[in-house]
Amino acid sequence: MAVAEGTSKRLDLPDAEWRRVSPKLIAVEFLSWGAILLIGVAVALFTALVWEWTWIWWPFAAFAIVTLITAIFIPRRVRAIGYQLRADDLLFRRGIMWQRFVAVPYGRMQLVDINRGPLSRAFGLADLKFVTASASTGVVIYGLPEAEAEGLRDHLVAVAESRRTGL
């Protein structure tokens, strides 16, 4: 199919099923946002009591409302994260209102990294990060089960090595 000059061919999204991240990521996100809210309460309480700044409760109330609204969307946001292993690349998606689809060619992967924070480790989760030569294609898949993240890393490294040998 020829593409007319000045136009671009749209990325055809396959009908294959998307692999999702672990639902445990929802609990990790809730705990993280809860900790942020708790720190905000502590700061507001400290400033209200020590310096007698009673007006501090108004900005804190706005902060608390934004945090709670963000928390409401956590389950939907986590369900929107997915990836597909295709023949020539890994396709990643995320986002509800601002959706992002990134295709990372296997031959362009320079580094596949696994990160585990303390809270993620407690839930048996890991984050998988892909680094390419282009800064705009950096992808992090949060909330993968540790075994799946390690298996995916090993698979991607093997496929990337085989694709780079042909360059």
Q: What is the pLDDT along the chain (167 residues), one digit of tens a residue?
A: 444 454 445 556 666 789 999 999 999 999 999 999 999 999 999 999 999 898 999 999 999 999 999 999 999 999 999 999 998 899 999 999 999 998 888 888 888 999 999 999 999 999 999 888 776 667 899 999 999 999 999 999 899 888 775 55
DSSP string for the chain: ----TT--PPPPPPSSPPEEPPTHHHHHHHHHHHHHHHHHHHHHHHHHHHS--GGGHHHHHHHHHHHHHHHHTHHHHHHT-EEEE-SSEEEEEE-SSS-EEEEEEGGGEEEEEEE--HHHHHTTEEEEEEEESSGGG-EEEEEEEHHHHHHHHHHHHHHHHHHHTT-
